[in-house]
Amino acid sequence: MDLLAELFDSARQHLRKVVLPEGDDERVLAAACRLRRERIAVPIVLGDEAAIAQMASRAAFDVSGIEVIDPRRHARLGCPPPAPPVGRR
């Protein structure tokens, strides 16, 4: 068995989550779909949900079962709200 096959088999036995940034990139979505389809890992894709859905539709990718997190809207990952303005002295 070659090295890559051994690594994939090991990954399948110890299924882990993998976070992929730039989820609206076709290559990233293709990788996420392959990870899920071949049960290599549980993919989580970061990016705008609408843009990711549009790219998946355009590329005919089945993204069902792939978690999508938009860091700009996620409570724990997003930017904190701006501080209130400081009054003049």
Structural domain includes residue 75: no
Asked if residue 56 belongs to a domain, the reply is yes
> What are 11-51's pLDDT values in tens digits?
899 899 999 999 999 999 999 999 999 999 999 999 999 99
* CA dist., res. 20 & res. 71, Å (int): 12
Instruction: Give the model's confidence band at 86: pLDDT under 50 very low, under 70 low, under 90 confident, else very high.
Output: confident
Element holding 33 (H helix, E strand):
helix 26-37
Q: Which residues pair with 18 in a beta bridge?
A: 43
Does residue 2 belong to any structural domain of this protein?
Answer: no
Per-residue pLDDT, 80: 62
Write down how long the chain is. 89
Determine, yes or no, domain membership for 76: no
Number of domains in the chain: 1
89 pLDDT exceeds 60? no
Least Cα distance to 52 among 38, 39, 67 occurs for: 67
Say if 49 falls within a structural domain: yes
- Its domain, for residue 54, covers 17-69
